[in-house]
Amino acid sequence: MEKVWRIIDIIEWSDSFFKKKQFHNPRSEIEWLLCSILKCNRLDLYLKYDEPLSKKELSILRNWIKRRLDNEPLQYITGSCDFYGREFLVNPSVLIPRPETERLIDISLNYMKKIKNPKILDIGSGSGCIAITLGLEIKDATIIGIDNSSSAINLAKNNCHLIKPKKVKFIKMDILNKIPKEKFDLIISNPPYIAKDDMCSLKSEVKDFEPEVALTDYDDGLIFYKRFSKIFSAISNDKSFFIMEVGINDHPNNVASVFTEEGYDKIKFFNDYNGDKRVLLVEN
């Protein structure tokens, strides 16, 4: 007789299994996978812990566990990721949204409080998580998201269709060679900022699975910021803001120097939730 695998059986087995494989949070690994397969939240798992999985569900789970053992990110395996309390579709054509990037949203909301009907540009939209979130949080905003990847634009449009912000659209554009015709009150970006020489130091689940073109500028990690400093005044309204995610160590100060050299003197750093300088704001 074939063994019946209940939710609690799977959690207990997987907790031990992932621990032996030296995963940092073994229980959260299986909880994530089960929640996705069963389309429920973590609390529901334990409320119906005695329920068995179907053969189809077990087959999917086995396949997902094998993929996870190869260090494939959970978000790519399940095809979704939480960002600012909402679920977004993700795939290997875009970066996985990270909690640190939510800080960009908080800062943007604070600076857009007093601006009526703000126009916002999101450069390097990826999954569209920043543009869509701002579109939902700032009801009167008009937002354009741009990305040089057709696959990323298609995914962002899919997320837009599912999550339904009112005034958000996505356009394919290479910001290094072209600029929008409109002017904006807020420009926001989490660009590729890892220097080419630093790519080898990334964790395997990042460098082996996430799109390289979204991680590095294949140079010193400053290419996009240098471009931003050149085009900011041309695509911004008076008293506009440019909010950017930056890297670690010397990178924040190096980015600030790029803007200082272009004559910008209203520059401010914001820490992420770990206390590190990870957001740079430049005021026009």
How do residues 129-168 score in pLDDT, each as one tens digit? 999 999 999 999 999 999 999 999 999 999 999 999 999 9
The answer to whether position 135 is within a domain reads: yes
Give CA–CA dist 133/217, Å, rounded: 26
Same domain (yes/no): 33, 168: no
Range of the domain at 170: 80-283
**Given 15, 50, 69, which residue is the final one in a domain?**
69
In a domain, 75, yes or no: no
Domain annotation covers residue 187: yes
Into how many domains does the chain fold? Answer: 2
Residue 24 sits in the same domain as residue 99: no
pLDDT at residue 1 is higher than 80? no
Q: How far is CA 150 from CA 145, 157, 174, in A?
A: 12, 11, 11
Quick one: what percent of the chain has pLDDT higher than 90? 94
Q: What is the pTM of this model?
A: 0.93
Phi and psi of 142, rounded to 5°?
Answer: -110, 125
Contact yes or no for 84/128 (Cβ under 8 A): no
Of 44, 41, 50, the C-alpha closest to 12 is: 50
Question: Cβ distance 133 to 122 under 8 Å?
Answer: no
CA 194/CA 216 separation, integer angstroms: 5
For the stretch 83-95, pLDDT in tens is 999 999 999 999 9
